[in-house]
Structure 1
Amino acid sequence: MKQVLLIGLLSLGLIACQKEQTEPKEDLLAKQQFEQADQKIGVYLDILDNQNTSKQQSTKIICEDYPRTYKADYLPKLIKLSPEYTEQKLLKHLDEALDYYKNKLDIECAK
């Protein structure tokens, strides 16, 4: 009985280890892509917070670059890595951030 239990536990341990080895490659790639998108967004925010940034550059970031990077790169990777985030919640966060900078920098995006 002890041998059967020991073999069963070892089998479960091996299966768990094998499963962990196949999933991290996908997760690692998603994590790297997420970190790249997060870094890009961080650069955008640094530029927007810089008082010396031109209104033209700020407008381009707020109206084009930031939302495109957020929706195409950041959002899907974050949802993949952390399923507790939903697209709806993250789009709400995006809108809040964009509204903040639009108000702060007096920018209107063409629709």
Structure 2
Amino acid sequence: MKTKLIIALLLAISITGCQKQQAEDPKTHAAAETQFKKSDIIIGSYLDKLDSPNTSKAEQINIICKDYPTEYKTNYMPSLLKLQPNDYTEAQLLKDLDIALNYYKEKLSITCE
């Protein structure tokens, strides 16, 4: 049930994030769109690794405690806010991040220091 909720949430964010919206500066919009697409691929690979039974515990911990939140906060979230400023807030996106991280922490029995 939780897996379906997380997957649905991530798909909704991805789909709405990929919708084109006109920005005031086409170069800024293009850069944000490129950054978003790259970051979305990276985050997708993290989620694939977290869902794989072949991923080591050390790598899972590194992804959940360091890599995923860093990528999300420094690339994914800022580019999504530039592309869809009327649809998302920083607080809402940080809440979504917490939901996803808490799900994987519980699922994989991981505690970040």
TM over 0.5: yes
Equivalent residue, structure 2, for 1:27 = 29
Equivalent residue, structure 2, for 1:48 = 50
CA distance in 1, matches of 2:45, 2:66: 14
From 90, 96, 101, give the equivalent of 2:99: 96
Return the structure number with greater relative CO, CA threshold 8 A, min gap 6. Answer: 2
Shift of 1:46: 0.4
CA distance in 2, matches of 1:29, 1:68: 19
Superposition TM-score, scaled by structure 2 size? 0.77
Shift of 1:23: 2.4
Structure having the higher helix fraction is: 1
Unaligned runs of 5+ in 2: 1-21
Identity of aligned residues (%): 53
Paired residue type of 2:97: L
Superposition TM-score, scaled by structure 1 size? 0.78
Equivalent residue, structure 1, for 2:78 = 76
CA distance in 2, matches of 1:72, 1:62: 15
- What's the RMSD between the two structures over aligned residues? 1.2
| Structure 1 residue ranges (4+ consecutive) displaced by more than 6 angstroms after TM superposition | none
Q: How many pairs were matched up?
A: 90
